[in-house]
Structures are given as structure tokens and as C-alpha cells.
Amino acid sequence: MNHDLVIIGAGPGGYIAAIRAAQLGLNVACIEKERMLGGTCLRVGCIPSKALLESSELYKEAEHTFKDRGINVGSLSLDLEKMLSQKDRTVKTMGGGIDSLFKKNKITRYSGHATITAPGKVSVDNGEEKTELEAKYILIATGSEPSTLPGIELDGDRVGTSTEALSYDQVPKHLVVIGGGVIGLELGAVWSRLGAKVTVLEYLDRILPTTDFEIAKEAQKIFEKQGIEFQLGCRVTGVKANRKTCDVEIADAKSIRCERVLVAVGRRPNTENLGLAEIGIALDKRGFIPVNDHYETAVKGIFAIGDVIGGAMLAHKAEDEGVAFSERLVTGYGHVNYDAIPSVAYTNPEIAAVGKTEEQLKEEGIEYRKGVFPFMANGRARAMGQTEGKVKMLADKQTDRVLGVHILGPRAGDLIAECAVAMEFGASSEDIARCCHAHPTLAEAVKEAALAVDKRALNF
């Protein structure tokens, strides 16, 4: 079979690249080894985790905050099976949506494991037969999978990864999470809200290592108040799974007995059996595929994007690379501004950021001014009863150009979009401060933080 472009992997990187390339007139094929299109993000990542975060938050609100607002509900109970099936339905519906998009854009889909046999040649093995494809260009968008630690055997039951933690059939009495990163905090929050005792063990002396330190520290305090336990500076040496419990062994400390263990210590690129070494593509020392500015690998005509090339492991980063790749291939233009990629942890409150942290600015010797505005002084946050957290804006001391924004607070994930747009347009804090923001909205906290850069916040 001949195609202009063959894409391996139908995650947010691969399927979006396929759609954009097809829009631009290429004859595109996409190979996916799983039955459902959408990749990690749709099957076992962004979407199912957000469905559970939303449901568990509603459950917690009904349990704790409805009463304060004069809403009395009868006795509250959890139907976990139904909660999980709502999540599964959401995923299935969205998977069907990508199938329709493939049909609409006339993208040919192949099911099976892809191996590159030579430049321009890909073999697809679906377990029963092999199909040989030929293409002018090949795009690798094979994503990533959970990492584990030496001494820990993932049994897919008591000791598992995020994939299992999206589908526990009962609320564990005690869940130990290894890793205080985004997955640990999001999925830890889900099960804590549903009634589990949750202990997060983090190797470093802080949680969320890439988040602005002041924000991460404040977030940890809030999560502790919500009942999550943290043990920082904690080196896990092994996990012993018993019939009904597990023992998590820690260097220089007592082991912890719990019901389930979630290993959330990062993700590693998916490059197994892709045929890379055989065609001359060497991996970097962390296992990622090296690419140039055009996303081209060491072999001409073979490109790679998304989690498999490293950088921020985020769905929207993979998508934007997919668009940039296809546009550059067809039109000669296309680019991603890596300085303005937002990130969001969907905890409560949410944590969102774009641009540089205060630590990075100090390290790079960049002089900056800082504006902070707390949500407790924002009318909408007060009305919502969600006053924890703040907006922190960092702007260049000389030019006032916004260099970073860090938000801990309600709907931070939505608020950060304004800041990413501002940074894309090279805005100053003064630009944001002078834009009219509707009242009463949470977005006014962003405007006030911008005013605070120049020490002229109005409501604080």
C-alpha cells in the first residue's frame, strides 16, 4: 500500500498530525496497535483521570460543602461501579469521535504493531497477518508508558500504575502513592476524596519538582489539610505484595503496610520493536528519539513528535508538534513556541503555569518583578467558597514583558489560557493590567496580579 505519510501511533500527537496533513492534501495512513484511537491520553490518561477527578470532587462537595450553602441532601452513598462506567462511557464516546474524524478526513487506519523495516517502509503486524506499507514520509508518534523502579514488580493488581488506579473496583483502605508528581497528586486526590487513606512517598524534598517552589509548597499544605499524607526525601527500596496487602519498604524508615500501591515515578518513551536501531536511529541516554527543529530523526524522511521525543509529556504539546510537523512538511512553515506551553495539575485547587518559575529566573540571572494576588480577595472566588491560592506573575524588570505566570486556585487551568496567549503575543504585565476583565470573574485575579507587578493592585 502506498501513502504520502504513514503515522505510527494514534495518540494526540499522531492523530492530530494525521488530520492536519490530510487537510493539507496528503494521502495519510495511521497505524495504532490498540483497538481504540486516542492514545494514552484518551484511553488511560487525561480524559479518564479528569472524569474521575470531576466525579470525586462532586462527591466530596456533596459530602462537605452542600450543607454550608443550605443544600440538604438525603443520605449520601457512593456507587463506584456507576462512577467508573461514566468514565468509561466518556472515553468510548470520544474514541468514536476520532474514528469519525478519520473517516471525514479520509485517513486510512491500520490496526496492529508497526515496525519500520527501511526508510519509507513499514510493516504492520496484527497478530494474524502482516501488511507492508510504503510511504514518502514516516512519522513516529508512539508516546510513552509508565516507568517503574528496581525492586518493584508491577502485578497489575495490588501494585500497579496509573492505568490500574483509574479502575480500582473498590476504594482502597490505604493507598500508597510512590511519586509526588502530577499523576500521584491527581489520582491520589481521586481516591482520597472517595474515602481512602492516601500516603504519597516522594524521593525529593518537595512535591511537583518542575512547579514554581512557592506554589508547590503552598499546594502541599492545602493537600495535607485535605487529608493526604506526604513523606518527602523518601527512598523506596521495594514493594512486597501479600495476598491482601502490600509492604512498601523504605530506606532508613519503617515499611508501610497498605492495600494498594500506585507507582507514579514518571513515564518512559515507547520505542520497543520499532526497528529503530536496525535503520540507524540511536536513542538518547534517556531513551528518547533525538530530532532536529523539523522533527526529523537521524534518518531522512523519518520524523518523530510527542512524548517519544521528550520535553514536557503533555497532550497539547504533542498535538501542537503534530500540527507544526504536518504544516512544515507541506507548506515549509510550522513551529511550536516551547516558552509558552501551559501545564495544569487538575487537583483542587488546580495548579497551572506557563513560562519560567522564579527559581529558573534566578538561576538564569534574569532580573524580574513579581506581582501576587490572593484568591481570598477575589469576589467570585469568595462567592464560590474557593479562596485558597493565588496568582503569581513574573515580569522582566526592564521591559515588563511577562516571563511566567503561576496559579494555584479555582479553575487555574482555564485562567492560564489568557496568560499563554499574552506570552505568545509578547505582552507586558501592563498590557494585561489595562485589559478590561469582566466582574465578578476569577480572571480578575490575573489582572490584579498584573497590577501588583507594578505595586498597584486595587483590591488587595
> Does residue 200 touch ligand NAD according to CB under 6 A?
no
58 backbone dihedrals φ, ψ, rounded to 5°: -60, -40
Contact 338, 321 (CB under 8 A): no
> Does residue 406 touch ligand NAD according to CB under 6 A?
no
Nearest to 251 by CA among 312, 201, 189: 201
Three-state secondary-structure class, residue 313: coil
> Does residue 12 touch ligand FAD according to CB under 6 A?
yes
> Does residue 313 touch ligand FAD according to CB under 6 A?
yes
Determine which residue in the list 154, 246, 256, 313 makes contact with ligand NAD, applying CB under 6 A: 313
149 binds, among ligand NAD, ligand FAD, none (CB under 5 to 8 A by kind): ligand NAD
Residue found under cell 463506584: 80
> Does residue 310 touch ligand NAD according to CB under 6 A?
no
181 vs 269 by CB, closer to ligand NAD: 181
Find residue 29's DSSP bridge partners. 6, 108
> Does residue 266 touch ligand NAD according to CB under 6 A?
yes
184 vs 355 by CB, closer to ligand NAD: 184
260 vs 267 by CB, closer to ligand NAD: 267
Determine which residue in the list 55, 270, 378, 429 makes contact with ligand FAD, applying CB under 6 A: 270
Determine which residue in the list 149, 298, 366, 376 makes contact with ligand NAD, applying CB under 6 A: 149
201 binds, among ligand NAD, ligand FAD, none (CB under 5 to 8 A by kind): ligand NAD
191 vs 368 by CB, closer to ligand NAD: 191
> Does residue 91 touch ligand NAD according to CB under 6 A?
no
Nearest to 410 by CA among 379, 366, 364, 370: 379
Stretch touching ligand NAD by CB under 6 A, among 97-105, 195-203, 288-296, 373-381: 195-203
CA geometry: angle 169, 88, 208, nearest 5 deg: 75
Instruction: Give how far Cα 309 sits from Cα of 14, 129, 445, Å.
Output: 13, 30, 36
421: Cα within 13 Å, side-chain hemisphere:
8
> Does residue 350 touch ligand NAD according to CB under 6 A?
no
Write down the catalytic residue from 64, 294, 335, 439: 439
9 binds, among ligand NAD, ligand FAD, none (CB under 5 to 8 A by kind): ligand FAD
> Does residue 215 touch ligand NAD according to CB under 6 A?
no
> Does residue 239 touch ligand NAD according to CB under 6 A?
no
Residue found under cell 504585565: 429
| Active-site residue, 439 included | yes
Q: How far apart are the first and last CA of the chain?
A: 65
Q: Scan residues 30-69 and list those touching ligand FAD (CB under 6 A).
A: 31-34, 39-41, 45-46, 49
379 is annotated as contributing to ligand binding:
no
Find residue 211's DSSP bridge partners. none
Find residue 368's DSSP bridge partners. 396
Residues 6 or more apart whose CB falls under 8 angstroms from that of 27 comprise 2, 3, 4, 5
The whole-angstrom separation of Cα 355 and Cα 416 is 11
Instruction: Give one DSSP letter per residue of 121-157, joined into a string.
Output: EEEEE-SS-EEEEEEEEEEE---EEE---TT----SS
Task: Convert residues 381-420 into a mask of x (bound to ligand FAD by CB under 6 A) and - (unbound).
Answer: ----------------------------------------
Q: Which helix (H) or strand (E) holds 228?
A: none
50 is annotated as contributing to ligand binding:
yes
Task: Convert residues 154-193 into a mask of x (bound to ligand NAD by CB under 6 A) and - (unbound).
Answer: ------------------------xxxxxxx-x-------
The whole-angstrom separation of Cα 243 and Cα 129 is 40
Nearest to 220 by CA among 347, 368, 384: 347
Tell me which residues are annotated as active site. Answer: 439
Binding positions: 50, 142-144, 179-186, 202, 266, 307, 313-316
Question: Which stretches of the chain bind ligand NAD, using CB under 6 A?
Answer: 149, 178-184, 186, 201-204, 209, 236, 264-267, 313-314, 343-346
